[in-house]
Amino acid sequence: MPAIIVIGTQWGDEGKGKATDQLGDRIDYVVRYSGGNNAGHTVVVDGERYALHLLPSAILNPSCIPVIGNGVVVDLDVLFAEIDALNGRGCDAGRVLVSANAHLIAPYHQVIDKVTERFLGRRRIGTTGRGVGPAYADKVNRIGIRVQDLFDPDLLRDKVAASLEQKNQLLVKVYNRPAIGPDEIADRLLGHADRLRPMVVDASLLLNRALDQGRVVLLEGAQAHHLDVDFGTYPYVTSSNPIAAGACTGSGIGPTRIDRVIGIAKAFTTRVGEGPFPGELLDEVGDRIRDDGGEFGTTTGRPRRIGWFDALVVEQAVRVNAVTDVVLTKLDTLTGWDRVRIVVGYEIGGVRHDVMPLSQTDIHHAQPIYEDLPGWNEDLSGCRSFGELPAAAQAYVRRIEELIGCRISGIGVGPGREQWVSLHDLL
């Protein structure tokens, strides 16, 4: 049975949570493979809104086993707060499994994240301040703390003390902040050990055996292609690999076991944080789309930057990730416009570009080239088949397919789980 990857094809916030939840009752395992609680997935079930940051979105489907893979950095305070919040709302969140090799976000990672971001000034990245980047930096520098370290208290205390030797020098002498006591940090982390212990597994072994047994495994990305540390708009990116290839390293499932890659794209474009955005709308048009779509960050609450659909952005993601199906979300947000626009190229120094430029300098200076299409005024929220969409909305979808080079297999027409148009089966 298949292993399926769900990724974002823009700069995040595309609606991956909704798409994952759509598949939830048909899959056996859902795996978060990258990022931390800097992610924000919003899912609406029976009129109830759930904001998830660390837990996989399909946890709301009781038949699905959620797994936090080795590629994730885990804030244990957030993990248990989310579990308790879901349990308090009548959802069974007690079946979460966590890879023994996942790395932990310690309180000092959050401190480092916030002070360094402030120190950067106008060169700031726009991080969420959750400690994700510093935790990944420690992982790469081989001074990180793994989940399994919680069960060897002496080793954990040694690792925390070693990590803080350098960090305290930085905090005190560069940032004028007080030193952090290693015992306090170690005690706080060890306080979670007993509750965490029954959740810890060899995730790679578990998932590969599940595939051998004919189970369906869905790998849920956080952030998106253009926030990838290798392929995104560097340096304004996250600190991990949310692309499809990252699903293999972040879960322990080999690439030959992946059957399908589902790319999620909004019917327009948004971005949170700093970095280039060639088609950004800094006018009343952008304000209207933001208000109509409720485009405010799930994790930070920050207003999202808005633009019309950028085909170059999504085409690159489709190409690099070998996307087999695209899900187009929030098509209903564009109702009420006389015309809708698509970015079909960039003008850079008098030269037209029909694919994403390689140079970050070129992306920064790019001016969007638009193609205008007729808009529509019909309410899409009740549509359940492609033929029920207004002709103009159908033409908009088909034109996007042509430009990105991939079929659109699902369309979101509202926030609810049932507000969905299926063109092709995703499993």
- What CATH number should be reported for the domain whose range is 103-194? 1.10.300.10
At residue 181, does pLDDT exceed 90?
yes
Query: Is-catalytic flag, 53?
Result: no
At residue 122, does pLDDT exceed 80?
no
- Strands 305-310 and 103-104, how do they pair? unpaired
Q: So what's the pLDDT on residue 121?
A: 65
**Among 13, 113, 228, 310, the one annotated catalytic:** 13
What is d(CA 318, CA 314) in angstroms, rounded to the nearest whole number?
Answer: 6
Q: Does residue 38 or residue 121 have the better pLDDT?
A: 38
Contacts of 84 (CB under 8 A, 6+ apart): 93
- What CATH number should be reported for the domain whose range is 266-422? 3.90.170.10
pLDDT band at 51 (very low <50, low <70, confident <90, very high): confident
What pLDDT digit, counting tens, does each position of 384-405 carry? 999 999 999 999 999 999 999 9
At residue 55, does pLDDT exceed 80?
yes
**Rounded to 5 degrees, what are φ and ψ at 33?**
-120, -5
Average pLDDT over residues 229-253: 95
Average pLDDT over residues 289-301: 85
Report the DSSP beta bridge partners of residue 421: 411
Tokens representing 383 are 């549509």
Q: So what's the pLDDT on residue 59?
A: 81
Query: Is the Cβ–Cβ distance between 129 and 117 less than 8 Å?
Result: yes
Which of 221-259 are b and which e, b meaning 16 or more Cβ less than 10 Å from the residue's Cβ?
A: bbbbbbbbbebbbeebbbbbbbbbbbbbbbbbbeeebbe
What is d(CA 257, CA 370) in angstroms, rounded to the nearest whole number?
Answer: 39
What pLDDT digit, counting tens, does each position of 138-169 carry? 999 999 999 999 999 999 999 999 999 989 99
What is d(CA 117, CA 124) in angstroms, rounded to the nearest whole number?
Answer: 6
At residue 288, does pLDDT exceed 70?
yes
At residue 373, does pLDDT exceed 70?
yes
153 by Cβ neighbours in 10 Å (0-12 / 13-18 / 19+) ranks as: middle
Fold of 3-98+200-261: Adenylosuccinate Synthetase; Chain A, domain 1 (3.40.440)
Its pTM stands at 0.92
Query: Is-catalytic flag, 41?
Result: yes
Q: Break the chain into its structural domains and give their ranges.
A: 3-98+200-261, 103-194, 266-422
CA–CA distances in Å: residue 256 to residues 245, 326, 364: 11, 21, 37
How much of the chain exceeds pLDDT 90, in percent?
Answer: 75
pLDDT band at 29 (very low <50, low <70, confident <90, very high): very high
Q: So what's the pLDDT on residue 45?
A: 62
Q: So what's the pLDDT on residue 120?
A: 64
Q: Calculate the average pLDDT of the chain.
A: 92
**Among 21, 25, 28, 41, the one annotated catalytic:** 41
